[in-house]
Amino acid sequence: MVTATLKQEITQLEANFCAALSDPIRLLILYTLNDGSRNVTDLAAELGLNQPTTSRHLKVLRERGLVDTLRNGTTITYRLSDPRLIQALDLLRNVMRERLAYQVNLINETTQEIV
């Protein structure tokens, strides 16, 4: 049986997970890691960011379980924890694309009625 408290805790976990996806830089990091594992220096250079900013975003992604780390000596490499994350992001992009197309259609219809 799912209690109200358990439901609230699950919902909070979902919100925390989604909060990690709410920053454009973190989304770019996830899409970049989809192409292969990277260390923070490589990620920062590829995305045109400074290393402290990149590290801060990676920390959020790691804390939420969206990326994993592999240590090789002093180098820490980051990778996606689950490739389905990109599938989920792509699904969201498709929903947004359809929503934007609907809004453009409404604007076009409204403009035609005015003319």
CATH of residue 32? 1.10.10.10
Could you read off the pLDDT tens digit of each residue along the chain, which spans 115 residues?
779 898 999 999 889 888 999 999 999 999 999 999 999 999 999 999 999 999 999 999 999 999 999 999 999 999 999 999 999 999 999 999 999 888 888 888 888 777 6
> Helix, strand or coil for residue 70?
strand
CA angle 33, 97, 54 (to 5 degrees): 25
Same domain as 6, residue 50: yes
d(CA 45, CA 86): 22
Domain that holds residue 19: 1-81
d(CA 65, CA 17): 8
At residue 115, the pLDDT reads 61
76: enclosing H helix or E strand: strand 75-80
At residue 29, the pLDDT reads 98
What's the number of domains the chain is made of? 2
Same domain as 91, residue 50: no
Same domain as 66, residue 31: yes
Same domain as 52, residue 10: yes
Same domain as 71, residue 20: yes
Same domain as 115, residue 73: no
Same domain as 100, residue 51: no
Same domain as 71, residue 30: yes
